Structure 1
Amino acid sequence: MNYLTIIVMLLVAGAVVLLFAMAGEMYARTGGLEGSPESTPGGTGVRPLEGARFGSRPGTWPEPFARFGTGGPYLLLVLSTSCASCEDVAAQLADQPDTGDIGVVVTSATFGDAVEFVQRHGLARLPYLIDEGAAWVSTEFGVKISPSAAVVKDGRLVSALLFTDVAAVRAAVQATKEAV
């Protein structure tokens, strides 16, 4: 493979991550999470994510999430290194108890940016995956917006949510668990 091909591949991966972050950021800034007509006044800001492939099961689970292939439900939080809302969500994770049901997928154009994001927010205490170019999460689950939460039970995607508040998304998942 020549250098030009490598450079083009890196640029494409960077563009995919940037579009991923921009879509989520634009959605959050335009009031989509709290102010859209579909949100109820005083709502939690947790909304269904359209376009996710419900029922899909990854061919293989990355090592940090190996146990997510059975049992659950588990919550995979998808965060991007170039998303201001994701920075807020990552900061909120420091205040959350570690119950073993949360994993974090960090999407980034470069591995180094993702490592720095994980270290800056203390995410290494949770199972996490650095997903360059959002390749794994978008291919396996169709999740292409951040911040979002993929709810996985018995290895299958059962729900996907847009959110800006970790406590609210956990409460929404808990309410669903109790209703079933």
Structure 2
Amino acid sequence: MTYLFGFGLLVLAGAMVVLFAMLGELYARTGGMEGAGAPGGGSGAVRLLDGARVGSQPDGWPIGLAEVPASDLRVVLVLSTACDSCEQVAGQINDLPDLRDFAVLVSTIDQDRGVDFVTRHELSGLPHHIDVGGEWVAGELGVMTSPSALVFRHGRLVSALLFTDLAALSAAVFPVKEAVGNE
């Protein structure tokens, strides 16, 4: 009986990750981001993500993201191993001139796929967490879409954004960092 329950839970977690990735892809491909996720690139639009628990502070943090609550401002990139747009975004990360304000959360169906994603895109130098089943990000923050960017100030979610271009995301977020830092 315990094995059956465990297997059922594993199937449910896998379905959640696949749904998470499919929703992000569908939204981007249907023009929800003005074609930003369409093959061949897009407008680089950055939009607010509906459904995220903006203003909330997670009860607990995964070890890989433990430094996020101590940061003045930190952007956690939510990427999925089952998402083509996420693969493109992951390929852009190391092109940024300054990565110290970024962390990565990889939502995946199993640990090995997440480790492969982090290794393939050379993300191990960034604070990162492999979120099997997307359980932490969905449970703590209500986020089930990727690629998305979660902007935290001292561990509190202050913004959640949909994006497909890291340069556009940086241009949207970091002027805000200067304003927030001057409060």
- Provide TM-score, normalisation by structure 1: 0.91
Rounded Cα–Cα distance in structure 2 between residues aligned with 1:6 and 1:62: 22
Q: How far 1:138 sits from its partner (Å)?
A: 1.0
Aligned letter for 1:2? T
What is the CA-CA distance between 1:178 and the residue it aligns to?
A: 3.4
**1:15-34 residue CA offsets vs partner (Å, 9 max, x unmatched):** 00000000000011111112
Secondary structure of 2:124's partner? helix
**CA distances 1:118-158 after superposition (whole Å, capped 9, x unpaired):** 11111111111000011111111111100000000011000
RMSD between aligned alpha carbons? 1.7
Superposition pairs of residues 1-180 of structure 1, within 5 angstroms: 2-35=2-35, 44-180=44-180
What is the deviation of 1:76?
Answer: 0.3
Runs of 4+ in 1 over 6 A off after TM superposition: none
Instruction: Check whether the contact 1:72–1:101 (CA below 8 A) recurs between aligned residues.
Output: no
State the 1:3 CA deviation. Answer: 1.9
Please tell me whether the aligned partners of residues 29 and 35 of structure 2 are also in contact (alpha carbons under 8 angstroms): no
Identity, % of aligned positions: 54
What amino acid sits opposite 1:64 in the alignment? G
Partner of 1:124, secondary structure, is coil
Instruction: Please give the alpha-carbon distance, in whole angstroms, between the structure 1 residues aligned to 2:139 and 2:5.
Output: 22
For 1:97 and 1:153, locate their aligned partners in 2 and report how far apart those are by CA, in whole Å. 21
Give, in whole Å, the separation in 2 of the partners of 1:8 and 1:101: 38
CA distance in 2, matches of 1:97, 1:141: 28
TM superposition shift of 1:98: 4.0
Q: Which runs of 5+ in 1 are unaligned?
A: 37-41
